[in-house]
Amino acid sequence: MPCVTARRVGAFFDIDHTVLEINSGSRWIGYMWRTGQMGLLEVARAMKWLAQYRFGLLDYEAMATRVLAGYAGREVAPLADEIQRWFHDDVAWAICTEARARIERHREAGDMLVLLTSATQFLTRPVAEALEIEHMLCTRVEVDGGQFTGRYAAPACYGHGKVHHAEAFAAEHDVDLAASYFYSDSYSDLPMLERVGQPRVVNPDPRLRKLARTRGWSIETWTAPPRGSAKTTKVQHVGS
């Protein structure tokens, strides 16, 4: 009888309001305002997009196209370094205690750990390093010769785009999505929550909370330790 090798189980994690208690986007907007890199009208527009995102109403592709066009021709390294410093100074403390514990549980079980987020690689990478997660599926901002092109690699890792990237990853790594987990807070992630066999709703937005109750999905509340007491983790380089 031929030997049948079992396929891998994946554990996919969203970032904002899931791995992180906070929304990193709103923190970045605050940072840009404090440092004089964003004006009042830009802040108002960005906060509108965040509100639309929270309620699953955002046209993510249109937003990303508009924002990234403004970065065309800029050097990548200075911004990447700035985001890395900002993450460690203003965001790393917000990693949820329960996220760390759940990630370790999946690691011990031999599951494949993956960050699956609409964020760009510049935020996703430091989160992955902090949690020692090798794989990250995110919205990839295009870079050419060390400069931003002003575009992203379509489709963006948002909504049905997350399913696209997860399915490609699963095919490459022999992951069984029907046996896999996805942890998320957002109604916009419904396509991916429905794609896996083990949907996990964490700190949900109002629309996802209502839907989870209708479908009988359990709802979990994850929180970060008080700021200043967060666990320090070993940082290692992970592939992009």
Name beta bridge partners: 115. Answer: 13, 136
16, 111, 185, 189: the catalytic one is: 16
Place of tokens 């964003």: 38
Q: Is 176 an active-site residue?
A: no
Distant-in-sequence, close-in-space partners of 219: CB < 8 Å, separation ≥ 6: 201, 202, 204, 209, 212, 213
Count of alpha carbons within 13 Å of 110, Cβ hemisphere only?
4
14, 111, 185, 205: the catalytic one is: 14
* Three-state helix/strand/coil letters over 65-119: HHHHHCCCCCEHHHHHHHHHHHHHHHCHHHECHHHHHHHHHHHHHCCEEEEEEEE
Q: Based on C-alpha coordinates, what's the Rg of the chain?
A: 18
Q: Is 185 an active-site residue?
A: no
Integer Cα distance of 100 and 218 in angstroms = 19
Active site (catalytic) residues: 14, 16
